[in-house]
């Protein structure tokens, strides 16, 4: 029988007598494709306020779904789906909580910036945009103006919308340029994709925000202009990157002094970035993609990026990818997120094999997780491409497959409950990708406001500090996202294409109401982190803080070895059982992810910042 969660503190539960019916598992369609399935209806009071959402700035590309009433589920369907009355614990003793808004991010200054916007009457999107701009200042290894990201927005009573502001390849990209850039370790101008962050943040703010642009950007401008004391994590990332940053004069002037990297407690100022942010505050996206900032970006990249590349860049609104898990609706990022595809497949495989029936943390449960992850990671690597590069029907068919329970149950090679399947048997291209691993330097944050609107957002420069260069006169650290293209599979380096990413902001809904706001950095490990936090709460009844603090494991497709965390190890006995089943143990035991997540129980929201990178969660008082 399915295991009931252990409730460790009083929980208020938003449940009716029966679960709403599961909608057909649907794919998020890309450009110009009508939505294939609606989001579950919210309660009638929210449904009455629902509004349709139009698409991105210049030309329609995708639209949000309508919301017809879903029929009630019967008991037989519930039993088949492993559903039981869901009792959500609270956040636990280490979580921030409140009814007027909560934010969790990797950096205290950024969390406070967003909180100040909520306190001034801004909504979740206003606060999220403020957090993102602040992270460009105070978390420069991953927060950015010169990179990109993904955002899921669900305004109360409205359908969820995915904001895609992933970088695109410049027109000047060719295969010889790409190969030379990879040989140079993705450092320098040839690695830089067209930045998407400003376009994406401004699209989200214009569509869903409430406050004036200048008010939302004011905290980030002040932090860049006046400076802030470097925290331990930020100082550590600067020290790691310093040998390369020091070779770029503009970067060295910001992140070093007297030939040495800035240290914890040093006051870091970036007046050029403050002026760049002021131009965005005055003119929106045109303050970045046109004028002084644009010219300086092009000058810094010496022919690898043009003014037309910047002018033509568009952030895009897409329909989230949807999958059912144990009677809940999981909304995650569609392509070009390969992480969202992996989450959908991973959850579907675990559901098909009824993994929740196994004892939490046992060798059998971890075996099912690792084997499901191995298969999901293979498809993440080989099948996902910029959705605008595919015919709509082909994209729909591709995504319908990974959310189809019948296909997942029969996916070859099928999961053997007694032995591990070598990755080379899952896909013969194993050896060709053995050396191709994704950077783990990204950042995630989550926001809820007093109305119950939520944002899950992940941003990145790809590698830590991206291409390890700053565009002179802008203070903008530039991405190295062109290196995210591959040499086999669908995600090949083509001028104009969006690069694929494992970033996967995710929402979990019950009865049409958001109960979890999830996401993480971590490159290849992002799907594993998101799914484990989700299952720790839904399947194992953990509080939010315990679910995030819990040990994590990860099985990639390549290399063929599973990881665990040295600071939070699984038991030696369990490791030995897994090895006896054919699993190989990686020697890489670094922390995995940084899950700055939210849990909502009734009208109370809980936020917890993952201690792996030492962030901060705060609630409006």
442 a catalytic residue: yes
Burial classification of residue 450, based on how many CB atoms lie within 10 Å of its CB (0-12 exposed, 13-18 middle, 19 or more buried): middle
CA nearest to 311, candidates 167, 166, 460, 194: 194
- Written as six digits, the tokens of 345 are 């497949």
Q: 3-state DSSP call for residue 163?
A: strand
Burial classification of residue 431, based on how many CB atoms lie within 10 Å of its CB (0-12 exposed, 13-18 middle, 19 or more buried): exposed
Handedness of CA 280, 282, 287, 292 (dihedral sign): negative
What residues pair up with 163 in beta bridges, in sequence order? Answer: 151, 317
Residue whose entry in the numeric block shows the structure tokens 């720790």: 536
DSSP conformational letter for 57: S
* 318 touches 28 (CB < 8 A): yes
- Written as six digits, the tokens of 446 are 């989550």
Backbone conformation region of residue 230, classed left if phi is above 0, alpha if psi is from -120 to 50, else beta: beta
> What are the respective helix, strand and coil percentages of the chain, to the nearest 5?
35, 15, 45
* 602 touches 514 (CB < 8 A): no
All residues at 6 or more sequence positions from 186 whose CB lies less than 8 Å from its CB, including other chains: 462, 463, 467, 480, 482, 483
How is 202-224 classified by DSSP, letter by letter?
A: HHHHHHH--S-HHHHHHHHHHHH
Cα gap 426→330, rounded to integer Å: 26
DSSP conformational letter for 120: T
* 374 touches 69 (CB < 8 A): no
* 529 touches 552 (CB < 8 A): yes
- Written as six digits, the tokens of 210 are 């409430």
Cα gap 26→32, rounded to integer Å: 16
Burial track 552-578 (b if 16+ CB lie within 10 A, e otherwise): bbbbbbbbbebbbbeeeebeeebbebb
How is 316-365 classified by DSSP, letter by letter?
A: EEEPPEEEEETTEEEEE--TTBHHHHHHHHHHHHHHHTTGGGSPTT-HHH
Backbone conformation region of residue 142, classed left if phi is above 0, alpha if psi is from -120 to 50, else beta: alpha
All residues at 6 or more sequence positions from 397 whose CB lies less than 8 Å from its CB, including other chains: none
- Written as six digits, the tokens of 475 are 């203070």
* 384 touches 491 (CB < 8 A): yes
Annotated active-site residue in 237, 403, 442, 506? 442
Segment holding 288, helix H or strand E: helix 286-289
* 531 touches 346 (CB < 8 A): yes
Segment holding 518, helix H or strand E: strand 513-518
Strands 553-555, 604-608: parallel, antiparallel or unpaired by DSSP? unpaired
All residues at 6 or more sequence positions from 373 whose CB lies less than 8 Å from its CB, including other chains: 342, 346, 527, 528, 554, 555, 556
**Active site residues per annotation:** 442
């Amino acid at each position: 029988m399915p295991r009931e969660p252990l409730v460790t503190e009083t929980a208020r539960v938003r449940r009716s007598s029966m679960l709403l019916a599961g909608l057909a598992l649907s794919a998020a369609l890309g450009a110009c494709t009508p939505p294939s399935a609606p989001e579950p209806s919210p309660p009638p009071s929210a449904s009455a306020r629902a509004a349709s959402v139009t698409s991105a700035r210049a030309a329609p590309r995708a639209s949000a779904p309508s919301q017809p009433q879903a029929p009630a589920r019967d008991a037989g369907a519930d039993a088949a789906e492993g559903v039981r009355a869901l009792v959500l614990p609270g956040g636990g003793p280490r979580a921030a909580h409140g009814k007027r808004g909560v934010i969790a991010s990797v950096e205290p200054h950024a969390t406070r910036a967003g909180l100040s916007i909520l306190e001034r009457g801004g909504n979740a999107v206003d606060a999220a945009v403020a957090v993102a701009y602040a992270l460009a200042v105070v978390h420069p290894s991953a927060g950015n103006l010169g990179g990109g990201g993904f955002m899921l927005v669900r305004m109360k009573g409205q359908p969820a919308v995915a904001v895609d502001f992933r970088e695109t390849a410049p027109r000047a990209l060719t295969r010889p340029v790409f190969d030379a850039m990879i040989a140079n370790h993705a450092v320098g101008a040839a690695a830089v994709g067209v930045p998407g962050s400003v376009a994406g943040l401004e699209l989200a703010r214009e569509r869903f925000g409430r406050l004036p642009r200048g008010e939302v950007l004011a905290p980030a401008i002040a932090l860049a202009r006046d400076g802030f004391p470097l925290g331990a994590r930020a100082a550590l990332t600067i020290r790691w990157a310093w040998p390369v940053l020091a070779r770029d004069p503009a970067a060295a002037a910001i992140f070093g002094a007297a030939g040495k990297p800035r240290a914890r407690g040093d006051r870091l100022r970036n007046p050029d970035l403050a002026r760049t942010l002021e131009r965005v505050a005055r003119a929106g996206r045109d303050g970045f993609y046109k004028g002084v900032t644009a010219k300086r970006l092009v000058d810094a990249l010496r022919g690898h990026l043009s003014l037309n590349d910047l002018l033509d860049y568009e952030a895009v609104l897409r329909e989230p990818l949807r999958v059912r898990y144990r009677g809940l609706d999981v909304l995650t990022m569609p392509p070009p997120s390969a992480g969202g595809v992996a989450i959908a497949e991973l959850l579907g495989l675990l559901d098909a094999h009824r993994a929740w029936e196994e004892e939490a943390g046992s060798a059998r449960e971890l075996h099912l997780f690792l084997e499901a992850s191995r298969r999901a990671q293979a498809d993440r690597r080989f099948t996902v491409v910029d959705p605008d590069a595919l015919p709509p029907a082909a994209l729909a068919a591709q995504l319908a497959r990974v959310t189809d329970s019948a296909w997942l149950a029969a996916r070859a090679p099928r999961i053997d409950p007694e032995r591990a399947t070598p990755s080379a048997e899952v896909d013969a291209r194993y050896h060709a990708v053995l050396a191709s691993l994704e950077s783990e330097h990204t950042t995630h944050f989550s926001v809820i406001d007093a109305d119950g609107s939520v944002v899950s957002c992940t941003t990145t420069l790809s590698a830590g500090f991206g291409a390890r260069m700053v565009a002179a006169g802008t203070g903008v650290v530039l991405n190295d996202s062109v290196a995210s293209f591959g040499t086999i599979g669908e995600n090949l380096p083509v001028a104009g294409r969006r690069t694929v990413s494992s970033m996967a902001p995710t929402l979990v809904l019950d009865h049409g109401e958001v109960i979890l706001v999830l996401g993480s950095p971590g490159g290849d490990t992002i799907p594993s982190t998101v799914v484990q936090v989700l299952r720790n709460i839904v399947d194992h009844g953990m509080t939010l803080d315990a679910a995030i603090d819990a040990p994590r494991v990860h099985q990639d497709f390549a290399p063929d070895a599973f990881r665990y965390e040295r600071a939070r190890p699984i038991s030696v006995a369990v490791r030995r059982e897994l090895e006896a089943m054919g699993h190989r143990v990686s020697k890489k035991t670094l922390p995995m992810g940084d899950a700055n997540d939210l849990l909502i129980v009734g009208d109370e929201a809980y936020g917890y910042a993952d201690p792996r990178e030492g962030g901060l969660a705060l609630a409006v008082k």
